Amino acid sequence: MDKRERILEATLHLVQQQGFYHLNMKKVAAAAGVAAGTIYLYFKGKEELIIDLYRHVLQRYLTAVLAAQQAEADPVEKIQGMLRAYLRFFLAHPACFSFTQQFLLSPFSFKDQEMQLKLMASLLVFTAQARAQGLVKDLPTELLLSLATDPLNGMLGKWRLGLTDLQRPERQQQLLAAYWASIAGPAATGG
């Protein structure tokens, strides 16, 4: 792992423990095992570090989700596989989940909307195609994505608090089946 990667990983874990607002470069440097000045070789400051970390986490998550999409031939299985990959990624990487939730509710999220759209372009195109084929409900893309991910995020949050056991495969299946029912279109349900 190179220094930049170590800095990003250290930041991820510090944000999970302390949040954005208690984060400072001295703590990041200590956690990454680098000199404080080294961080500024890679990032102009805290804001750029946090935004770059979000891009890094989003890219990791999208890689997992899009790999699931490419692994399936059947379009319905593609969508369901993407939902499973989303859930499993964040179960395997709880620090990434905590970070993305904090980021999306922070002022930092407004500073990187263009990059978010660029990184998510293939997911947006796929969602539009699925809607055109009737595989998902005829709703605006942002609503479809919210119906697919917001409930999963809510359950992941409950899991992080110890209020549900999402590690159980049968619980994951129940959850994913319920969310699929909320977005499935007529071509996917035979209706």
Six-digit token string for 74:
């059947």
Q: Does residue 105 sit in helix, strand or coil?
A: coil
Residue 189 vs residue 39, higher pLDDT: 39
Domain that holds residue 2: 1-43
Q: Are 179 and 152 in contact (CB under 8 A)?
A: yes
Q: What is the pLDDT of residues 115-137, one digit of tens each?
A: 677 767 777 888 888 889 898 99
Query: Is 50 inside a domain boundary?
Result: no
CATH number for the domain spanning 127: value is 1.10.357.10
**pLDDT higher than 70, residue 80:** yes
Q: Give the pLDDT of residue 31.
A: 97
Domain tally, the chain: 2
Residues 138 and 181 occupy one common structural domain = yes
CATH number for the domain spanning 34: value is 1.10.10.60
Residues 15 and 100 occupy one common structural domain = no
Q: Give the pLDDT of residue 174.
A: 92
In percent, how much of the chain has pLDDT > 70?
A: 97
Residues 7 and 61 occupy one common structural domain = no
Query: Is 51 inside a domain boundary?
Result: no
**Section 33-57 average pLDDT:** 94
Distance of CA 72 to the CA centre of its chain: 21
pTM of the predicted model as reported, rounded to 2 decimal places: 0.85
Query: Is 48 inside a domain boundary?
Result: no
